[in-house]
Structure 1
Amino acid sequence: MIREVLIDIKPSETRAAFLEDGELVELHIELNEKEEFHGNIYRGKVERVLSGMQCAFIDIGIDKNAYLSADDVLPISNTNSTRIENTIKQGQEITVQVVKEPIGTKAAKVTTNISLPGNLTVLFPFSSGVGISKKIDDGIERQRLKEIGERLCPEDMGLVIRTVAEGVESLLIENDIKSQLKTWEDVKQKEIKGNVPRCIYKELSLVQKIARDSINSDIKRIILNNRKEYEALLDLFEEMAPEMKMRVKFFCKDYDLFSFYNVESAIKEALSKKVWLKSGGYLVFDYLEALTVIDVNTGKYVGKNNEDETILKTNLEAARMIAKQIRLRDIGGIILVDFIDMKDKTHKEAVIAELRQACKNDGTGVVIVGMTGLGLVEMTRKKIRNTLHQIMTYKCPMCDGNGWIEN
């Protein structure tokens, strides 16, 4: 598989398209006029503690106070109580990290369990233990990385070794951990004094995150259409990983970068309600307040002889397309899929297995719960930020997004 990243930089926004064998699989957008908060660490102030709901609201200096669940509050060492009113108090200063962007009318979600991602590892200053990415399947390699992690993990801290660390020598992993420890020391220094609320650690920009995550990865090319950012990325790789410089290319043609690589047409499809399958079937996406519903239809595909085989073939193709579309559209939360009704139990199991397999390439956590008695497939996907639909569209002022107006 050939993996490439196209970075389209405009005055109003930066867009990064991730391609696999020339096909768009992910699109990340950073709007210049809108600040992103995910990953940032703040020194905030507890505004309200709601013992009845076991949550608190923290002023971190943005439009809405951030939401802090009791599950995301580290317990005090000298007490076994997990109730939020016993761990934090109104008016108290507190250090939190944003784990979910403000979405719609919902506030940003924060945690006190800080994590610092590096190129090869993720450091958890307040946790303990060593974890290895589940995507590393080789048992011998997992054991090697486990031993390296246990040897290098700082005392009273936690460490997760990322997928890109597979096959990497221990010295590089050690240097990565040292870099995160330095970042943590900087955070602790900024935590000591200053106005509250304030940001004490800002997550990298979109281009910088791509640079960090591409080191030791299988990305073959990073193509930019902005000369200044191209040269800045070369300088960054000169310091971090000189071997990556040869993978960075400047797109200087008098043509739109995304149009040249047929990305714009894929984005248009990802914003549409209906998505056609190659067989002639189609999917329909409906976004609701609490969940997303995907309906599968045979459409133009009528098969040849056997109705059950026709339905199975359509559902299998739909399962692959659904995995692709929820990743591209960045759909999070609860997802219900209404596949075409199947009578054969083995056919149902085959479709669920196909969906699970197709979701394995998704870096965001996807859980396939199973099929309900009504034949609906329940699944969840971790919700971190606004969907592509929410970022690139806005509600119709005539119908307020309902799609219907009075006669």
Structure 2
Amino acid sequence: MSNELVINSTQEGSRIALMRDKSLVELHYDNDETKFQVGDIYLGVVRKVVPGLNAAFIDIGYEKDAFLHYLDLGPKVKSLLKFIKLAQGKHHKHVNESLKQFRLEPEIDKLGKINDVLKQNQKIMVQVVKEPISTKGPRLSCELSLAGRYLVLVPFSNTVNISKKITDAGERRRLLKLVNSIKPENFGVIIRTVAEGKEVSELDKDLRDLNLKWAEGVEKLKVAKPREKVIGEINRATSMLRDILNESFDSITVDDKDAYEEIRRFILQIAPDKAGIVKFYSGKAKLFEHFGIEKQLKTLFGQTVSLGSGGYLVIEHTEALHVIDVNSGNKSNAENNQEATAFNVNIEAATEIARQLRLRDMGGIIVIDFIDMKKAEHKQKLYQHMKAEMKADRSKHTVLPLSKFGLVQITRQRVRPELSIVTKEKCPTCNGTGKITASIAIADQIETEIMHLMENQNDHKIKVGVHPYLFSYFTGGFPSRRMKWFFKHFKWIKIFEDSSLGLSEYKFFDHHDEEISLK
């Protein structure tokens, strides 16, 4: 199984696609709008304490106040508040990143009240655990943690915990002993699954990097104003690489030189032996077009998703939950055995559903209406297959067995807004009115514009992006229409296909790849 990361830079930011065996499984956007990412730590201000909810609303600079529940304060919140007060006080120069001399405060009561801990207008360091979704502001926690490649550093704690996915008892003992010997005082550590089998030198380097990140945050905290970010999560692409980079990664392709250099430096830091898989793309076609991602985006985000066998999924979203209906389609005519048909379509649907949940980042409650099956053996196999397909999902999730009505319920952690891509395009010719002028004339219109540019534009390297159908029309045959233009004006027009354009859309570019306005 091969994994590829494709990073496309645009004017709005970056698009990051994770491919598994050439199929798109995750899509992320990294731009100016992706503020308040999971992992960011801010110096917030308590705006309102609500005893009825046992929660507080914190101002961290978002348009809506963020939500902080009492249970998310963490037992060591009093130590955190004391540290903030010292770091921002008159003698802040004597405060450093080391907590060795810092005296921890008693833990708070698990069943306590938030108004006993927080007061209005109080400053507090908080970490984003859920990004703003719909009309809600970010969800916050005061249990700060800094994630590294192998370890997670937890200030104001002394415990060492280890991932439950590391099941070998001997390896668990080895890792606990190693980390206890190198961890700084008053810092807790969580050992991640990828730390299994790693040497102490690798773990120590990761821990030192996290300590340095904490130290930089402490220095920022000393002079930070309310609502300022104190410690920022690395960008979306590098955070993905930190969490999922493994031996199955074949390539990381980037089309921006600065992003290429940044990712290469990051890979050299965390996995030097993998530096060779980072590639800079300088091809003529657009990066997502070259990898076939643009086409997948258009076919995977609709309300109906087709299956290879002829079946299909219908995905509906409501305020409370997501509903997915599995249909056999024309598959029902291919087999005589109704039970076998239902089982085969359900198995294929389960694989695609697991992919869709990751791709769209659907969270909350998901209810799947599989095709009814009578055999208990088939129901059990489908349940086990659904669980196995969901194992690759990095979000926390729970899969329940089939109910007697043939429904499977899944809960999936939601920390970011659901990704939605519009797959139904407004007709660019009629602008959604339903009435158009003769669409057959679009080729003539493009040709007229090309003639005008060739006769009046001094630029000899004009490029035009068109829909794939029009690309075939202009370049097919011998002599093609493009050749005829060349024989007439002795200027070669470069035409490239862009499936993101509608049939009657087109764009002209000069030799600097800047769009030529025709108005």
Shift of the 210–307 alpha-carbon distance from structure 1 to 2, 3 Å rule, reads: closer
Give 1:298 shift.
Answer: 1.2
Aligned to 2:11: 11
Identify which of structures 1 and 2 has the higher relative contact order when contacts are C-alpha pairs closer than 8 Å and 6+ apart.
1
Aligned partner (choices 180, 183, 188) of residue 150 of structure 1: 180
Kept in 1, the 8 Å contact 2:251–2:277? The answer is yes
Residue 350 of structure 2 corresponds to residue 319 of structure 1: yes
Post-superposition shift, 1:348?
1.8
In the alignment, is residue 190 of structure 1 matched against residue 213 of structure 2?
Answer: no
Q: Deviations over 1:72-118 (max 9, x none)?
A: 01235265243222222222111100011101111110000111011
Given candidates 319, 342, 345, the residue that maps to 2:376 is: 345
Q: Distance in 2 between matches of 1:215 and 1:171?
A: 19
Measure how far apart 1:33 and its partner are: 4.8
Structure 2 equivalent of residue 363 of structure 1: 394
Q: Kindly indicate whether residue 305 of structure 2 is the aligned counterpart of residue 275 of structure 1.
A: yes
Is it true that 1:116 corresponds to 2:142 in the alignment?
A: no
Residue by residue over 1:236-290, the C-alpha shift from the partner in whole angstroms, topping out at 9 and shown as x without a partner, is 4455554333111111110111121111222223311111112211111111112
* Contact 1:113-1:127 within 8 A present in 2 as well: no
Deviation at 1:320, TM superposition (A): 1.2
Residue 128 of structure 1 contacts residue 156 of structure 1 at CA under 8 Å; is this kept in 2? yes
Partners of 2:423 and 2:137 lie apart in 1 by 19
- 2:134 corresponds to 1:104: yes
Aligned Cα root-mean-square deviation (Å)? 2.4
1:38 correspondence with 2:34: no
Task: Give me the whole-angstrom Cα distance separating, in 2, the residues matched to 1:140 and 1:267.
Answer: 45
> Which residue is equivalent to 1:248?
278
Secondary structure of the equivalent of 1:301? Answer: helix
Q: CA deviation at 1:394?
A: 11
Report matched runs for 1:1-400 at 5 Å.
1-75=1-75, 76=78, 77=106, 79-80=108-109, 81-213=111-243, 218-238=248-268, 241-302=271-332, 303-389=334-420, 392-393=421-422
Once residues 368 and 241 of structure 2 are traced to their aligned partners in structure 1, the CA distance between those partners, rounded to angstroms, is 35
**Maintained 8 Å contact 1:14/1:30:** yes
In the alignment of these two chains, the number of paired residues is 395
CA distance in 2, matches of 1:39, 1:285: 30
Q: Distance in 1 between matches of 2:34 and 2:335?
A: 52
CA–CA separation in structure 1 for the residues paired with 2:425 and 2:289: 27
CA–CA distance in structure 2, aligned partners of residues 311 and 151 of structure 1: 56
Q: Secondary structure at the match of 1:388?
A: coil
1:138-162 per-residue CA deviation (whole Å, 9 max, x = no partner) reads 5544443333233333334332222
C-alpha contact 1:39 1:98 (8 A) present in aligned 2: yes
Following superposition, the deviation at residue 134 of structure 1 comes to: 4.0
Q: Structure 2: which amino acid aligns with 1:43?
A: L
Task: Give the letter for the 2:359 counterpart.
Answer: L
| Cα 1:316–1:216 shift into 2, 3 Å | closer
CA gap of 1:276–1:185, structure 2 versus 1, over 3 A, is: same
For residues 380-399 of structure 1, the C-alpha deviation after alignment (integer angstroms, 9 at most, x for no partner) is 1110111221xx449999xx
CA shift in 2, pair 1:218/1:138, >3 Å: farther
Tell me: CA distance 1:324–1:251, structure 2 relative to 1, closer, same or farther (3 Å).
same
Which whole-Å CA distance do the structure 1 matches of 2:313 and 2:172 have between them? 39
- In the TM superposition, residue 10 of structure 1 has moved relative to its aligned partner by 1.1
**1:154 and 1:395 mapped to 2: Cα distance?**
55
SS at match of 1:7: strand
Note the C-alpha offset of 1:135.
4.1
CA drift at 1:37: 2.9
Name stretches of at least 5 consecutive residues in structure 2 with no aligned partner: 79-105, 427-519
In structure 2, give the amino acid aligned to 1:104: S
What secondary structure sits across from 2:330 in the alignment? coil
- In the aligned structure 1, how far is the partner of 2:72 from the partner of 2:165? 26
Displacement after TM superposition at 1:367 (Å): 0.9
1:7–1:14 CA contact under 8 A, matched in 2: yes
Identity among equivalent positions (%) equals 37
Alignment CA distance shift 1:207-1:314 (3 Å): closer
Structure 1 length normalisation: TM-score?
A: 0.89
Give the whole-Å Cα distance in 2 for the aligned partners of 1:299 and 1:216: 38
| Structure with a larger share of its residues in strand | 1
Return closer, same or farther for 1:48/1:165 CA change in 2, 3 Å cut-off: same
Measure the CA separation in 1 of the matches of 2:168 and 2:220.
41
Residues 1:126 and 1:371: Cα distance change in structure 2 (over 3 Å): farther
- Match of 1:402? none
> Whole-Å Cα distance in 1 between the matches of residues 130 and 108 of structure 2?
28
Decide whether the 8 Å contact of 2:149 with 2:270 is kept in 1: no
CA change 1:350–1:235 in 2 (3 A) is closer
Larger radius of gyration: 2
Q: C-alpha displacement at 1:61, in angstroms?
A: 1.4
Letter in 2 for 1:225: D
The DSSP-based 3-state class of the residue aligned with 1:378 is strand
Task: Provide closer, same or farther for how the CA distance between residues 21 and 190 of structure 1 changes in structure 2, counting only shifts above 3 A.
Answer: same
SS at match of 2:391: helix
Residues 12 and 33, structure 1, Cα contact 8 Å, conserved in 2: no
Q: TM-score with structure 2 length normalisation? A: 0.71
CA contact (8 A) 2:166 2:172 kept: yes
